[in-house]
Amino acid sequence: MQEEKSGSVVNVDAVELKEDGSAVVIIDQTLLPNRVEYIELTTPKQMYDAIFQLKVRGAPAIGVCAGYCYYVLARGIALEAADWQTFKTMLHIQKEYLNSSRPTAVNLSWALNRMEAVVDAGEGKPMPEVLDLLEAECKAIHAEDLAMSEAISAYGASLLKDGDGVLTHCNAGPLACLGYGTGQGPLFYAHDHGKEVHVFADETRPLLQGARLTSYELQRAGIDVTLICDNMASIVMKNGWVQACMVGCDRVAMNGDAANKIGTSGVAILARHYGIPFYVLGPTSTIDQNSPTGDDIKIELRNPDEIKTMWYAEPKALPEVKCYNPSFDVTDHELITAIITEKGICYPPYEKSLAALFE
């Protein structure tokens, strides 16, 4: 791990391509905050498992990781495949396999489609040239991700005043996005530019990304952070300690409905009740032009063990008790004050302001 520069964690590389191009290197986020361990991904199964098991997670980081995975696999398949058609077919099968690892974050399919488009355009070119183009494309996805993080963070920070309290949910900081982040990017950006905010980080049941990752990142950066259980958001808002809510997103529909970590929509409902602005932050790659409304967004259902056993020495519910464990929920666009992208701040009506981003 590249250690913090100037008290910030923005230079941590949660996802990297190994220098010789033979593997994707990630921080295993499931081990944080107790251990910082890097793992190398070389096989399709390792890559699928890393995404499915949330060793790499957060919509933009999943996209960057998927681009690198595609390139590493393409190198291997290029050595095996007898001809162009076999190369394309084998790579497409692996692409679809990776794409099935998690359904909600659109950046996964976005990055994989972007890589496949390079192959489609490469027909007739020598294989080494196609591989060079693929390497350039996955590195471009990473570089663009860093740039978008910075731009989103600057826009978001412009909405905060020195001394504000900000409530956030899940993890949408450097580990999830690379660079400053999205949902938490403005907090790091503000801090690095001389504006101090204090942050309430929801622990984010059941996988505790807020406790394990967000409070870790903010604390290490020297930002004033207080960890709360998800069911404490109402009291800190009622106490007048929160002037803004900021969250990331996994997929935004064209009407502004935004899917993010389970519990986000509850925060938005509370924020509306207490008259607190609620901001969703994410790159345009997270806006899905194929989803007109939130009803079109597929919600990932995960293993009940994440609720019943994962964090406990002994199970805290009978094995036969049913669990419902949706990983995301959709916040109605009417509850969202603004959607902040790298291209600017979008306000309602979102049908117009989001469509304008793609014109």
Footprint on this chain of ligand MRU (rule: CB under 6 A): 54, 57-60, 105, 170, 172, 176-177, 182-183, 209, 248-250, 260-261, 327
Give me the phi and psi of 46, to 5 degrees please: -60, -40
CA–CA separation, 227 and 211 (whole Å): 7
Cβ-based nearer residue to ligand MRU, 131 or 287:
287
Per the CB < 8 A criterion, the answer to whether 112 and 99 are in contact is: yes
Nearest distance in Å: CB 182, ligand MRU? 4
Report, in Å, the least distance between residue 245 CB and ligand MRU. 12
For residue 287, the one-letter residue type is I
Q: Could you tell me which of 171, 173, 117 has the C-alpha nearest to residue 141?
A: 117
Residue nearest to ligand MRU (CB): 248
Least distance CB 77 / ligand MRU (angstroms): 28
Judged by beta carbon, residue 138 or residue 170, the one nearer ligand MRU is 170
Question: Of 91 and 209, which has the nearer Cβ to ligand MRU?
Answer: 209
Q: Which residues of 282-314 are buried (b: 16+ CB within 10 A; e: fewer)?
A: bbbbbbbeebeebeebebbebebebbbeeeeee
Residue 249: CB minimum distance to ligand MRU, A: 6
Q: Do residues 24 and 17 make contact, with C-beta atoms less than 8 angstroms apart?
A: yes
**Catalytic machinery residues:** 250
**Identity of the residue, 164 or 250, whose beta carbon is nearer to ligand MRU in the bound complex:** 250
To the nearest 10°, report the CA torsion of 75, 77, 83, 87.
-100
Helix, strand, or coil here: 208? Answer: coil
d(C-alpha 330, C-alpha 123), whole Å: 40
Find the shortest distance in angstroms from Cβ 15 to ligand MRU: 13
- Output Rg (C-alpha) for the chain, integer angstroms: 20
User: Quick one: 167 or 172, whose CB is closer to ligand MRU?
Assistant: 172
